[in-house]
Structure formats: C-alpha cells, structure tokens
Amino acid sequence: MTDQNVTKEEEVIAKLDAFAELPDAPPKRRIKLTWVGKASVAVVVFWLVIVAIGPSIAPFHEMDMEGDDGFLDAYSGEYGSFYLGTDYLGRDTLSRILFGARNTIGISLLATLLAYLMGITLGILAAVKGGWIDMGISRVNDAILALPTIMLGLIVIAAFGSSIPILIMTAAIIYATSVFRISRALGQDIMVQDFVEAAQARGEGVWWIIKSEVLPNAAMPLATDFGLRLVFVVLFISSLSFLGLGVQPPASDWGAMVRENLQGLTYGSWAAIWPALAIASFTIAINLIVDDISAKAGGSLAKKMV
Amino acid sequence: MMKQMVLQRIAIGFATLIVVSIIVFIMTSWLPGDVAQIILGQAATPETLAALRAQLGTDQPLIIQYFSWLGNMATGDLGISKAGGATISSLIGGRIGNTMVMAGLVALISIPISIALGLYAAMHPGTWLDRMVTFGTLSLISVPEFFIATVMVLILAVNLHWLPSTAYLTGNEDFFGLLKALAMPLITLVIVVSAQMIRMTRAGILNVMSSPYIEMAILKGVPRKRIILRHAFFNAIGPIVNVIALNLAYLVSGVVIVETIFAYPGLAKLMIDAVQTRDLPLVQACAMIFCGVYVVLIILADVASILSNPRLRQPK
C-alpha cells in the first residue's frame, strides 16, 4: 500500500518535473554570429564609444584652424600631429571626424529612436484598435510613404530652413512611416494568435495585452529593423549635409566634411575620403550584423540542393 | 479580375498624386507663413500688406489657393522664380532633358547588367562568386551615393586622369565629349542602382526556387540550369519587373546627389539650388515633377506584378 503510494508520488513528481522542463515561453533564440558579424559588432561599438567620448580624446577642437594651410598631409605640422592631415581650412581631419561622430551618429540615433517611438505607438494602436483609427492613420501614412524621402527632406528644409531640431524631427517623421507599417503588420499578426484570444477571454485589458503579448513577440523583428532604419537615417542625414542642407558649418558632420573637402581630391588630399570611410564603415557594419542575424539556418530542400 | 485590380491600382495612384500635391502645397505655401509680410518686412503698412496679399492671392481661403495653384500647374503655368524672375517653366524646360537623358542611359545600362549578375548569383548560391556579389552589393547599398561618387573621382579622375571630375555641359560638345562628360555621373548611378537591382533579382529567384514545384523538378532530376532558366526565371519575371520599376524610382534620390557632386545641369541641381536660395515656387514645381514620376513608376511596378501573375488571369 505505502509502496504503491510512494511510486505514485514519484510518478506525479516525475510528471511535474517533465512539465517544469517545458518552457513557459518559446526558448530564446540564441544569435550566433559569424566572424564577419562579430567584427561588425566591434566596429559599431567602436563608433558608439566615439560618440560618447570623441570630443574629449580629439587632439584639437573641431573648429580650430591649426594648420597654416589647407589640405596638409598626414603627420605634417609642428608636432607631426595631424594624423589624418588637415581639411580645406587647415582644421585637423581626425578631430573633426571624432567630433562629427556626435552629429552624424547622434542625430541619426535620436531621430531613429523618435521614429520608433512614434511608429510603434501608432502602429500597435492601429493594429489593436482597428476600425477608423486604423484607416485614418494608414491612409496618411501611405501618402507620406509614396514620396521619395530626399524630396520630403528638401521640401521641409526649403520651407523651414535647416537646424538640428528640424533635421531630427524631419527624419523621425519620414522614417516613422515605415516603422508604422512594420509594427502594424506585426501587431495584426500577433493579435489573431490563440494566446491573445486567451488573454482577451480571461478579460485582460488592451494595455496589458500590448505590454505582455504583443510587444515581446514583436521585439525581435523590430530590433532587426531598427538597424536597417538607422542606416537609412544616417544616409539621409549625411546626404542632406552633403548637399549643404543638413548640419550647418562650422560644426562638423561626416557628410558635410566630404562636401567641403571635395576639391582637395584634385590635390591628392584624403580629407574627403576619411569621413566618407567613417560613414561607410558604420553603415556597412550595421547591415552586415542585420544580414547575419536574419540569415536563416537550414532552409528548404531547394536552397540546400541548388 | 485582373482588369479590375489594374484599374484599382491606377485609381489609387491618382489619389496618391492628389495627396502628394496637397502635402507639397501645404508645406511650401502655407506653413512658411505670410509671404506678403516676408516680402515687405516689418515696416509694411496694413494697406500695402493687404494689397500685396490680394495680388498674390494669399487673402483667399486656403482651399481656393490650392485649387488655383493646381489648375495653374496642370496647364503648365508654373509661376515665376523668386530669384531672377524667369518663368519656372522655361527654367525647368532647359534642364529636364538633361536629367531624362541621364536617367534613360542609366536604365539602359544597369538593367541588363543587374539581371545577368543577379541570375548568375542565384544560379550558383554559396560559391565564392555569389558571396562576392552579395557582399559587394550589400556594401554598395549601405554607403551613401556621394561616397561612391567620391571614390570614383579619386580613382578615375585624380589617379588615372581618364575622366573629368565635373560633368559641366557647355552645350556644344561633340558626341565623344558629351560621353566623356556624362561618364562619371553615369558610372556612379549605374553602380548605385545596379547594386540594389542585383540583390533583389537574386532574392526574387531564390524565393521562387523554394516553391514546391521547383522542389518537384529537383526531385525528378531536372538539371539545375534548366530549372532556373525554364521554371524559375519565368515565374520571377513579375518580381523582377517590379524591382526594375522600383529602382528607377530610387534613381530620384541618386540623381539629386550625383547632379550636385558633378555639377551636372539637370533638374535635381536646379532644385537643390532653389532649396538653398529658398525659392519656394521653384521648389514646388521641381518637387511635383520628381514626386509625380516616382508615384507613376511605383504604380507601374504594381501593375507589372499584377499582370505577370497568371493566377489573376482567370476570374475565380
């Protein structure tokens, strides 16, 4: 009798143990990066650190005209201290790149974050609420999406002039439209899942469902998209600066630096190449990380065979 | 079914154009504030202000202003440039041909190159050539257009002295001179546009390759080349045409940068100069042209993908 009880208890415990091994949530996908991905992460982290400490480690101030002449070669000058040479006004290129990181990456990062804040809020709201709210926001969104981004940027700057807050707001609103589209689609997919229905059936409120069901499930795809969006914003801002319509001189911005020093190319100066390389390294690295994450392991028979 | 969908897309396109015109109008005419006040300055008397407003039409309700602006634009009366006082239609007329020549040449060169390379990469996935193509194109689409342009100047103009670093046209070049002047902007734009198109072509074909009928073909032993050329390619034509139209639309932003960097006298350069001098009527007109072309190309892309989908040919 007691023996049987003991075995039964053991069985129950064993069953419970088996149950405990079942995860409550889908197992976290571990992201394995290739060496290219790891190197790219290092590059991105490097530039983010520069955004934080760049100005304090720069050998000169971004606006100091240290060289006696424009387009000095690297290692020239009194102390041989222009590691990357000087620009067209004799300012140290390295210092301007270190300062410029704050403008180029900082503005883009802020704009992307703002775009995400707006895009996700409206997108999830449209997905959860549906009806005329969804219709209204979606139509306006489609209209803005139907325009080339650079055109929108040019129109805004023609109307209001260029300043850093206007740049951030313009980029944020333009790119919020694509974030809206993605988060709305994701939200709609999640809202028809069984677990959401279950939550609705047990009477959870809208905010609880958004917070506990929708956002966690949308987080991973949105995080990947954030990288891509950041690249687009960096390209947008630096293109505007390159056109002379973004960050205004004498502040340093990588796009503006390329423009300023373009004529130096003819004299063999690399002052325009270094900032261009800085942008390229940052954006390529982010794209490689995103590519690495989204490359699916395995795949269909056809992909393996062909 | 198909006809209906195509007509629906065209209708949506028209609606989008209207919304685009509203956005452009509000941003450039209404938001910047009272033009009369800006022109006359602080010292203006109420009477002169009212007179100028009546002359400019800004005393009318916004909606009437919008429709008269739209009507003028539709009949080709684009107004007068604030800088210089020339009519905008003459300014644009002198530039638009240059931009169209460049865009046409870019399309002519980049479409065959992209389809060939995209197809080749999709036929040999995982080989070093495919990896080089994917890595190369990913890098190219991640960098700004002006980066590619700058590197091209450094290599082709500064180091090799093959080409001039600007594309300034005097108007009386011979054919060879014209080609030489156009080469730099052309090469840059072809690289930018092709990179995008190669990636999308490759992805489109690989996408078709993962469908069940291809799996069937593999299992019954059809050679790989035949599968791609006879089965996958024809089903990927729709997506590829879509890609081409989309990328020609992306040309819009590429053209803006490239015309500026090489001082090419096209429409985009005109618009950038207008933005810098805040010549709003000129910006309006240029923006409407660029946005209009963009929207039309996007509609073409949509219609192409509908037309190429055989499932929509028969009503259900």
Q: What is the DSSP string of chain B?
A: -HHHHHHHHHHHHHHHHHHHHHHHHIIIIITT--HHHHHH-TT--HHHHHHHHHHHTTTS-HHHHHHHHHHHHHTT---B-TTT--BHHHHHHHHHHHHHHHHHHHHHHHHHHHHHHHHHHHHSTTSHHHHHHHHHHHHHHHS-HHHHHHHHIIIIIIIS--S-S-----S---HHHHHHHHHHHHHHHHHHHHHHHHHHHHHHHHHHHTSHHHHHHHHTT--HHHIIIIIIHHHHHHHHHHHHHHHHHHHHHHHHHHHHHTT--SHHHHHHHHHHTT-HHHHHHHHHHHHHHHHHHHHHHHHHHHHT-GGGTS--
Indicate yes or no: CB of B206 within 8 angstroms of CB of A303. yes
Q: Inform me whether the C-beta atom of residue A295 falls under 8 Å from chain B C-beta atoms.
A: no
Residues A65 and A91: beta-carbon distance below 8 Å: yes
**C-alpha distance from A201 to closest chain B C-alpha (Å):** 37
Helices B145-152 and A273-294: crossing angle in degrees, nearest 10, is 130
Indicate yes or no: CB of A239 within 8 angstroms of CB of B280. no
pLDDT value for A109: 92
Tokens of residue B87, six digits: 């009519």
Q: Looking at the partner chain, which of B23, B31, B218 has a beta carbon nearest the beta carbon of A302?
A: B218
Nearest residue of chain B to residue A228 (CA atoms): B142
Angle (nearest 5°) at CA B70 between B65 and B76: 130
Phi, psi for B87 (deg, rounded to 5): -70, 145
Which residue type is seen at A39? A
Residues A282 and A43: beta-carbon distance below 8 Å: yes
**C-alpha distance from A149 to closest chain B C-alpha (Å):** 8
Contacts of residues A37-43 at CB distance under 8 Å and 24 or more positions apart, as own/partner, are A37/A288, A37/A289, A37/A292, A37/A293, A39/A285, A40/A284, A40/A285, A40/A286, A40/A288, A40/A289, A40/A292, A41/A285, A41/A289, A43/A281, A43/A282, A43/A285
- The per-residue b/e assignment along A277-289, b for 16 or more CB within 10 angstroms, e otherwise, is bbbbbbbbbbbbb
Most B-contacting residue of A71, A141, A147 (CB-CB within 10 A), to test interface: A147
Q: Which range (A57-61, A300-304, B125-129) has the least confidence?
A: A300-304
- Provide mean pLDDT across the span A22-46: 72
Quote the CA–CA distance of B249 and A146 in Å, as a whole number.
11
- Spell out which residues of chain A touch residue B264, defining contact as CB-CB under 8 Å: none
Q: Looking at the partner chain, which of A149, A151, A272 has a beta carbon nearest the beta carbon of B150?
A: A272
Q: Which range (A113-127, A245-259, B36-50, B92-106) has the least confidence?
A: B36-50
- Whole-model pTM over 0.90: no
CA neighbor of B257 nearest in space, from A283, A285, A276, A176? A276
- Burial class of A132 by CB neighbour count within 10 A (0 to 12, 13 to 18, 19+): exposed
Quote the CA–CA distance of B123 and B236 in Å, as a whole number.
13
Name the residue with higher pLDDT: B182 or A28: B182
Residues A247 and A256: beta-carbon distance below 8 Å: yes
- Spell out which residues of chain B touch residue A243, defining contact as CB-CB under 8 Å: 256-257, 260, 272, 275
What residues contact A28, with CB distance under 8 A and at least 6 apart?
none
Q: What is the pLDDT of residues B249-279, one digit of tens each?
A: 778 778 888 888 888 888 888 888 888 877 7
As a whole number of Å, the end-to-end CA separation of chain A is: 64
Residues B58 and B35: beta-carbon distance below 8 Å: yes
Residue corresponding to tokens 């019954």: B220
pLDDT value for B33: 61
**C-alpha distance from B48 to closest chain A C-alpha (Å):** 24
Residues 149-188 of A with CB under 8 A from B: 149-151, 154-161
Q: Inform me whether the C-beta atom of residue A115 falls under 8 Å from chain B C-beta atoms.
A: no
Most B-contacting residue of A36, A140, A150 (CB-CB within 10 A), to test interface: A150
Q: Inform me whether the C-beta atom of residue A144 falls under 8 Å from chain B C-beta atoms.
A: yes
- Spell out which residues of chain B touch residue A283, defining contact as CB-CB under 8 Å: 142-144
Nearest residue of chain B to residue A235 (CA atoms): B144
Q: Looking at the partner chain, which of B19, B123, B158 has a beta carbon nearest the beta carbon of A143?
A: B19
Indicate yes or no: CB of B253 within 8 angstroms of CB of A149. yes
pLDDT value for B85: 67
Residues B170 and B178: beta-carbon distance below 8 Å: no
**C-alpha distance from A259 to closest chain B C-alpha (Å):** 8
pLDDT band (50, 70, 90) for residue A118: very high
Residues 220-259 of A with CB under 8 A from B: 231, 235, 238-239, 242-245, 255, 258-259
pLDDT per position in chain B (316 positions), as tens? Answer: 777 888 888 888 888 888 888 888 887 776 666 666 666 666 677 777 777 777 666 667 778 878 887 887 777 777 777 666 677 778 888 788 888 888 888 888 988 998 888 888 887 777 888 888 888 888 888 888 888 888 888 888 777 777 776 666 666 666 677 777 788 888 888 998 888 888 888 888 887 777 888 888 888 988 877 887 788 777 777 777 777 777 777 787 788 888 888 888 888 888 888 888 777 788 888 888 888 888 888 888 778 777 776 666 665 4
Indicate yes or no: CB of A239 within 8 angstroms of CB of B257. yes
Q: Inform me whether the C-beta atom of residue A288 falls under 8 Å from chain B C-beta atoms.
A: yes
Indicate yes or no: CB of B125 within 8 angstroms of CB of A265. no
Indicate yes or no: CB of A158 within 8 angstroms of CB of B278. yes
pLDDT value for A304: 38
Which residue type is seen at A128? V
Tell me how many residue pairs between chain A and chain B have CB atoms under 8 A apart: 161
Residue corresponding to tokens 């222009």: A82
pLDDT value for A110: 93
